[in-house]
Amino acid sequence: MRPRRRSRLEILYLILKSCEKGVSKTQITYDARINFRISMQYLDLLEERNLVQTQRVGDRSIYKLTEKGSLLLHHLEEAVKLLQADIIPQPGGTSTEG
């Protein structure tokens, strides 16, 4: 059986959750389970909306949540709790939806 296709919101959530700890593009790609090209499209969108910011650490770029990004992540987590639904998995986890 084919795995279900994830929603854009679910992918955005996984990227925001990953950026919470300050990570590289590669780690975001792994955490969100998407390819590099797609991760760059999402990161560009999130940067345009001032939800994540890039910081240079040596020769690497690290992505971190802005205050606005942290607030959005908190609201997404609260919405899932209110719906009492496990529709957004934790990075590296699996969903019970199918």
Q: Report yes or no on 25 lying in a domain.
A: yes
Q: Report yes or no on 50 lying in a domain.
A: yes
Average pLDDT on 35-58 reads 95
For residue 39, give its domain range.
Answer: 8-83
Give the model confidence (pLDDT) of 19-39 as tens digits.
Answer: 999 999 999 999 999 999 999
Q: For residue 97, what pLDDT is reported?
A: 45
Helices (H), the chain: 8-19, 25-32, 36-48, 67-83
Q: Is the pLDDT of residue 87 over 80?
A: no
CATH code where residue 78 lies: 1.10.10.10
Query: What confidence tier does 91 reach under pLDDT thresholds 50, 70, 90?
Result: low
Q: Report yes or no on 47 lying in a domain.
A: yes
Q: Is the pLDDT of residue 83 over 90?
A: no
Residues 76 and 19: beta-carbon distance below 8 Å: no
Give the percent of the chain with pLDDT over 90: 68
Q: Report yes or no on 97 lying in a domain.
A: no
| Total domains present in the chain | 1
In degrees, to the nearest 5, what angle opens at C-alpha 80 toward C-alphas 42 and 98?
80
Quote the tokens at residue 31: 């955490």
Q: Report yes or no on 94 lying in a domain.
A: no
Query: What confidence tier does 88 reach under pLDDT thresholds 50, 70, 90?
Result: low
